[in-house]
Amino acid sequence: MHKQSETEFIQPVYYSFSDFSLTLVTRSNDCHAMMRRLTHFRPTDHPSEQNITICFQEKANLDVFFAPMPSSVKLLYEIKPDRAGDRGIQVYQQDVQVRWIRFPGFGGIAVNYVSRTIASSFVSEVRPDDLVPFIFFIIQPLTRMVSCFAYHFLHAATLSVCGHGILITGLSGRGKSTATMALVDGGHVALTDEYTFIKKEKDEFFAYSMMDWIKISPVAQNRFFRHRQSRGLFCDADHVYRLSQINPHPIKQPVKISHLFILSQSGQHDTRIQSAVSLDVIPELLPVSISIFDQVQQKGQFELFTDFLNTVRCYRVSFGTDMDRFVSAVEQTVQKEDNKI
């Protein structure tokens, strides 16, 4: 592994995405490598007027990191670990625009919506084969901050199927990544695996992707996708692939969204898809996407999603174990709607 000097990357490195920029300040070469390799942010010479700054420190002392926390900051929310190995969380708030998040023994994050800055601290060293600190301390707080520019995070996969933009969502563990990979194997194109950002433009809703990866569980990998053991693989241990390498052809973003599929696992061979009304979708869609302790992000997300659900066709999917039949069922559903027009 490349040994980092004490002076590397103390100067900001600028990245661009659509209509805003990201300034990343860190000594971690691996964080910059992941930013270039696994996201759609591209290096640029200068930040734009709409800019987010992230300062990331590894091998950090949490007591030092939290020492500047103002005395006016109050403990807003706390979850204690239920068992050994779990991470607890403590959320401190100065006001709705400034908050500190502490993960005891793991790291901390300070978010300031006024200055559009994020400070992140990780107690260990980032390794080139470990996405966890990169996701936890750079990507996750970024999903909150981009709401300043009207990009709202949705825990869903986005694909183009038969010319239609579709979202696939559901509670964690329902098989979103498995369904996404199956559709890619079926010749369709994935924009993103689980980090979808919805933006309203005029009266239409578009999905953007900032991340270029898909993570498949070892069980799904061995059961359904053994043919992909090496092609496009980024990290052997986690079965992480770059979507840009495994897609059958390139996809241009943004993608206009017309269909929303809510997954549940049936345990059966076949897949069944039924129409659903937006009110049925809300209990499963919003809890996995909206932060319960971030009022700035929460307000914009709720307003946008309730409007969004009135414009898309919603379906419940009993996700079967035959991937070919699942792909066929999704194709028939979106094409059936074409025939009604």
Each residue's pLDDT expressed in tens, for the chain with a length of 341 residues: 334 444 455 689 999 999 999 999 999 988 999 999 889 999 999 999 999 999 999 999 998 899 888 888 889 888 887 776 677 889 898 887 888 999 988 999 999 999 999 999 999 988 877 888 999 999 999 988 998 899 988 889 999 999 999 999 887 778 899 999 999 999 999 999 989 999 999 889 999 999 999 988 888 888 888 887 666 666 655 678 889 889 999 888 999 999 999 998 888 899 999 999 877 777 777 666 666 556 665 666 777 777 888 889 999 999 999 999 999 999 999 998 666 54
Rounded Cα distance between 7 and 64, Å, is: 20
Residues of the chain with CATH 3.40.50.300: 152-340
- CA-nearest of 76, 323, 312 to 200 is 312
- Separation between Cα atoms, residue 47 and residue 44, nearest integer Å: 7
Q: Output the pTM of the full model.
A: 0.88
Locate tokens 């241990």: which residue? 237
What gap in Å lies between CA 31 and CA 15, rounded to an integer? 13
Q: Which residues of 275-305 are buried (b: 16+ CB within 10 A; e: fewer)?
A: ebebeebeebbbebbbbeebbbbbebbeebb
Fold of domain 152-340: Rossmann fold (3.40.50)
